[in-house]
Structure 1
Amino acid sequence: MMGAEPLKRGGEKPPPPAHVAIIMDGNGRWAKARGLPRTAGHRKGAEAVRATLRAAGEMGIGYLTLFGFSSENWRRPEDEVTELKGLLRLYLGNELNNLHENGVRLRVIGERERFGGELARMITAAEEKTAGNTGLTLTIALSYGGRQEIVAAARSLAADAAAGRVDAAQIDEALFASRLFTADIPDPDLLIRTSGEQRVSNFLLWQIAYAEMVFVDTLWPDFGRPELEAAVRAFSLRDRRYGGVKG
């Protein structure tokens, strides 16, 4: 249960999690409940991205990672996939300057080449334009799967070991993590999933090993600052031991 916001000794609020990851779920159910096509839910979900990003920045969260499109989502109906690609194109076109002006660094992880040359080029151009920004880092996972990421990292290390560039006996967690898509950002402290579902759906499987998880009933299109603040309050009440014992 999410109670009142806890205070640190001296009346200070606890710091927010450095990195929040969100599985954005419920667009289709939101649309269905209103007698609308699923694509309407995706459009409303894009508005929720904007509101959540703004709230995260104002709350002092340094890294926000959003699960936008999984590698399994390619199996959805063609018209829905086309709509999702169009929304991504629209988001990059309409939001990029705003992100840049607010110091947001944009990163995309996943198999971007599957979106086609034009959209892949837009993604790369957006990353390059915001690469020097020092505010919040927004990472969007597109055509992404956690198992695929781990396999890619293992394949990279195996190739280097076979070529003599890496001593296989020296491979440890840190070296393995350096081959992941998220090598240059910290692991998530908090994972949020919307819509009442309680599973991680192949998202950041390595990185969330010690993340606190908060599952909320709110469908993603209705998610915003109040829901993010409630999840962060719940996070601040957790006793994070990382496998050890305190006291």
Structure 2
Amino acid sequence: MAGDSSKLTKSLRRVLIKVEQLTKQNSQFHLIFAINYSRKSDVTQACKSIAHRVKDSLIHPEDIDEELIEKELATSCVEFPCPDLLIRTSGELRLRNFMLWQLAHTELYFTQALWPDFGKTEFVKALRSFQQRHGPYGSPND
């Protein structure tokens, strides 16, 4: 999970913890819940963390690269922090400060379906769209 879940009700936080526990052994799909999450805040926090490490002489400025920054982001908790596909529901056509760093090479799928109504049929449509435009890694599509 990325973001700040502290503003959620206790019962909803318990549900999220239970879902994490029930699915932690899943290896086929990775799902990140971004709750009260701001990409700008995440990048700012990563920069502050790196700045403190430079100040404390743990690293040198020339050690700072994309890999180091990615390790400091909230999504570093998963094996593949950069998604292959982002599904944007409810007709929204903007990312709205969401995972800006991680989405650099992500395929985007937009649907009018609202999240509660987004079911198997919509998911299959998104996957078919992704399959039609997604080339192998290293191709001009990446």
Question: Shift of residue 219 of structure 1?
Answer: 2.2
Change (3 A) 1:155 1:131: farther
Give the TM-score of the pair, scaled to structure 2.
0.80
Change (3 A) 1:110 1:167: same
- Pairwise mapping of residues 131-142 of structure 1 onto structure 2 (< 5 A)? 133-135=25-27, 136-142=29-35
Identical residues among aligned pairs (%): 34
Q: State which structure, 1 or 2, has the greater radius of gyration over its C-alpha atoms.
A: 1
1:216 and 1:194 map into 2 onto residues whose CA distance is 5
Structure 1 segments (4+ residues) deviating >4 Å: 118-121, 239-246
1:216 partnered with 2:111: yes
2:93 and 2:138 map into 1 onto residues whose CA distance is 22
Change (3 A) 1:201 1:132: closer
Q: Deviations over 1:127-164 (max 9, x none)?
A: 77448523444321111111111111111111111111
- Pairwise mapping of residues 1-247 of structure 1 onto structure 2 (< 5 A)? 108-115=1-8, 118=10, 122=14, 125-126=17-18, 129-130=21-22, 133-135=25-27, 136-183=29-76, 184-186=78-80, 187-240=82-135, 245=140
1:218 and 1:143 map into 2 onto residues whose CA distance is 22
2:26 and 2:8 map into 1 onto residues whose CA distance is 28
Give the TM-score of the pair, scaled to structure 1.
0.49
Two-structure CA RMSD over aligned residues (Å): 2.9
Contact 2:42 2:73 (C-alpha < 8 Å) held by counterparts? yes
Unaligned 5+ runs, structure 2: none
Q: Deviations over 1:103-146 (max 9, x none)?
A: xxxxx211233447x46973785477448523444321111111
More strand, by proportion: 1
Unaligned 5+ runs, structure 1: 1-107
Length, aligned pairs only:
138
